[in-house]
A and B are shown apart, each in its own frame.
Chain A
Amino acid sequence: MYRYDSYDQSIVDARVEEFRDQVQRRLTGALTEDQFKPLRLMNGLYLQLHAYMLRVAIPYGTLSGKQMRKLGEIAAKYDKGYGHFTTRQNLQYNWIKLADAPDILAELATVEMHAIQTSGNCIRNISSDQYAGVSADEVADPRPWAELLRQWSSFHPEFTYLPRKFKICVIASDDDRAAMKLHDIGLKLVERDGVIGAEVYAGGGMGRTPMVAPQIRDFVAEDEIISYLEACLRVYNRYGRRDNKYKARIKILVHEIGVEDYKRQVEEEFAHMKQLGLNPPTEELDRIRAFFANPAYETGLSEDIDRADPAFALWVDRQVAAHKAPGYAIVNISLKPLTGIPGDASAEQIDLVATLAEQYSLDELRVTHAQNLVLPHVKKADLYAIWQKLEEAGLAEANLDLITDIIACPGLDYCALANARSIPLAQKIAQRFAAAERQAELGELKLKISGCINACGHHHAGHIGILGVDRKGVENFQLSLGGSGAEDTSLGQITGPGFSEDGVVDAIEKVTYLYLAQRESGERFLDTYRRLGMKPFKEAIYG
């Protein structure tokens, strides 16, 4: 894992003290809310529906046990005993007192964490593949590049006031587990003739105008990635619309001027940038890369897993993924208990996962955009012991990528922007499909719920997506089918008129009945939908 050097630490520490002073001036009236709001947002502090909310960055979703434990301690000490893992690999606290915010940031700084650039029109937390470094199919660990981008983008003077927020994702596998093409810029590391570089995608995103990012470059060598991204951002910063926030994202610019024109302008800027010598020295990338070297895996480990306990065997089949090192496995921890809140974890659960990471996963864990957790380096021989501890803590749900592994934004229960509640609907759906046999029969089925058009719940990318809207003060839910955030990225299509909360659960059930009746051998729900198209599903839903 990356460790702060003295520059990183001093920057973060100085920011804490700066914010402490700003909060003090707000509390004494020296700053008005209009003056203070942009300052608190730059430090991840929102004023939400019920209270102040603090969004903490988890760069590329990687945490140490110590960092995770600190997140739990803050939840217990300053919040109401829990935190919410988001679809951007961040963690949100829902009940923060303004006066406590500087102390919380100071505590985060002691474990090399912060909330900088988790809001505002700047480059946000760099996201990545939760299996980075442990997946056998990647060309390289994407996290050194993600870390390099984190350093490049932190306090970047030219990109602090972009037309709109900017989200970057880095992956390195053909299997896209991070919705890479639904980011403002997506990088996919590839190898060409023995040289590592990146395919670059620009202009993707969800929100009210969802778009899949087109590829704008087939290959940028690794030592020129920063210059190339600098060029991408410069063109966006220059021409992105600032007159209308709904048209200010890069996707609108790329769409309006066209991919070819955007590419041409980026290439011109890139040619200019290359002459400036702004790429970091190779030694710096090597320095960062050294932090992500393979840990000292033990050798000669057993591949055997004792599957005598049927509940454990079910969990292994669903939650455990292949690791690149013999004798090791990747453990996915579900934060989707059937009656729980997607992405929420109590302080005690957070502390337990920190301990498990320290004891069983070489002191490392990951946060996923699907609001789950991952222990990336687990010996197969330790799986049963881990499962038992997860089971005791209510964290052993075996539903990864099944219909109850629902992504849901906080919705109108917490969010001031939302139009409808996402969480109660997620709970109703989870309960309707609770039977393990039924979930298994349906197989991979990614269901995603957003409580408003901003699409934090990634509904556009759901095999089944749900968007909550406000119909004259009453919650209403639009259903869409056929989205995907994986390597076969696609945007869901709306089925037709919306539903009440109970109505949409019934509609989903009808959709699943049709799928089960019509699927061909080996087809996932998404495959069947793509083969049949919307028409039969629409008929099944609306009659």
Chain B
Amino acid sequence: MKILTGNDLVSGDVIWWAGDGWSRQVGDSADVGDHGDDLARTEEAALRVVGAYVIDATLTDEGVRPAHIKDRIRALGPTVRPDLNLKPNDADAGNWVI
């Protein structure tokens, strides 16, 4: 699947296109098919996102998983700061990115 990600213009937070808006959770990502680039332009023009780009991902039993480690770390947060990442109570969260 193809998913769209970027950063919230104001906060800088990593966000994921969820089909009808943006989410902080990669698991909410919607398949954008071939429309990712158009969506990115529209959403950037609407000042909702900055640096939007389309990535490959797969739908696994655990949810949406970006294909590349860099995007998995973007989805989780820094693996060395479990207190700051999006799965603070998951001791195994760091292994998800590998």
| Interface positions of A (Cβ within 8 A of B) | 26-29, 33, 47, 49-52, 80, 95-99, 341, 412-414, 416, 418, 421, 423-424, 427, 470, 473-475
- Residues of B within 8 Å of A412, CB to CB, are 69-70, 73
Segment at the interface with A among B3-11, B31-39, B57-65: B3-11
CB of A50 within 8 A of CB of B14, answer yes
Q: Would B79 and A96 count as touching, CB distance under 8 A? A: no
Q: Interface size of B by Cβ–Cβ distance < 8 Å?
A: 26
A98 touches B10 (CB 8 A): yes
Closest partner residue, chain A, to B9 (CB atom):
A98
Residues of B close to A98: CB separation below 8 A: 9-12
Question: Are A97 and B10 neighbours in the complex by a CB distance under 8 Å?
Answer: yes
| Cβ contacts under 8 Å, B10 to chain A | 27, 97-99
Once the chains bind, are B12 and A47 in contact (CB under 8 Å)?
A: yes
List 5 A–B pairs whose Cβ atoms lie within 8 Å, in order of A's numbering. A29-B45, A29-B47, A49-B74, A51-B12, A52-B12
Inter-subunit contact B11/A97 (CB<8 Å): yes
CB contacts (< 8 Å) of B14 on chain A: these are: 49-51
- Nearest CB in chain B to that of A97: its residue: B11
Task: Give chain A residues whose Cβ lies under 8 Å from the Cβ of B77.
Answer: 50
**Minimum Cβ distance to chain B for residue A417 (Å):** 10
User: Closest approach, in angstroms, between the C-beta of A471 and any C-beta of chain B?
Assistant: 11
A80-B84, A413-B78 known; A49+B11 contact, CB < 8 A: no
Across the interface, do B50 and A33 meet the contact criterion of CB distance under 8 Å?
Answer: yes
Do A33 and B79 touch (CB < 8 A)? no
CB pair B47 A424 closer than 8 Å: no
Do the beta carbons of B13 and A413 come within 8 Å of each other? no
> Given A49-B70, A475-B98, 4 other A-B contacts at CB below 8 A?
A27-B47, A47-B51, A413-B78, A424-B80
Interface of B: prevailing SS? loop
* Closest A residue by C-beta to B46: A29
Pick from B9, B70, B74, B79: contact of A424, CB below 8 A: B79
B residues lining the A interface (CB < 8 Å): 7, 9-14, 44-45, 47, 50-51, 67-70, 73-74, 77-81, 84, 94, 98
Does A27 contact B69, Cβ atoms closer than 8 Å? no
A413 in contact with B67 given A51-B12, A95-B12 (CB within 8 Å)? no
Pick from B7, B67, B80: contact of A47, CB under 8 Å: B7
B8 to chain A, nearest CB (A): 9
Collect the chain B residues with CB atoms within 8 Å of residue A427's CB.
80
Q: How far is the CA of A162 from the CA of B40 in the complex (A)?
A: 32
Whole-angstrom distance between the Cβ of B24 and the nearest chain A Cβ? 11
CB-CB < 8 A to B50: which residues of A?
33, 47
Neighbour of B51 across the interface among A33, A96, A424, A475, CB < 8 A: A33
- What's the minimum C-beta distance from A537 to chain B, rounded to whole angstroms? 29
Query: Which of B45, B70, B98 has the most chain A CB atoms closer than 10 A to its own CB?
Result: B70
A473 and B67 in contact, given A47-B7, A47-B50 (Cβ under 8 angstroms): yes
In the complex, what residues of B have CB within 8 A of residue A28's CB?
47
Give the top 4 A-B pairs by smallest Cβ distance, nearest first: A51-B12, A52-B12, A413-B78, A423-B80
Are B12 and A49 touching (Cβ within 8 A)? no
Cβ contacts under 8 Å, B11 to chain A: 51, 97-98
Query: How many whole Å from B85's CB to the nearest CB in chain A?
Result: 9
Neighbouring B residues of A50 by C-beta, 8 Å: 12-14, 74, 77-78
B25: min CB distance to chain A, Å: 14
In the bound assembly, the distance between CA atoms of A470 and B50 in angstroms comes to: 26
What residues on A are CB-neighbors of B74 within 8 Å? Answer: 49-50
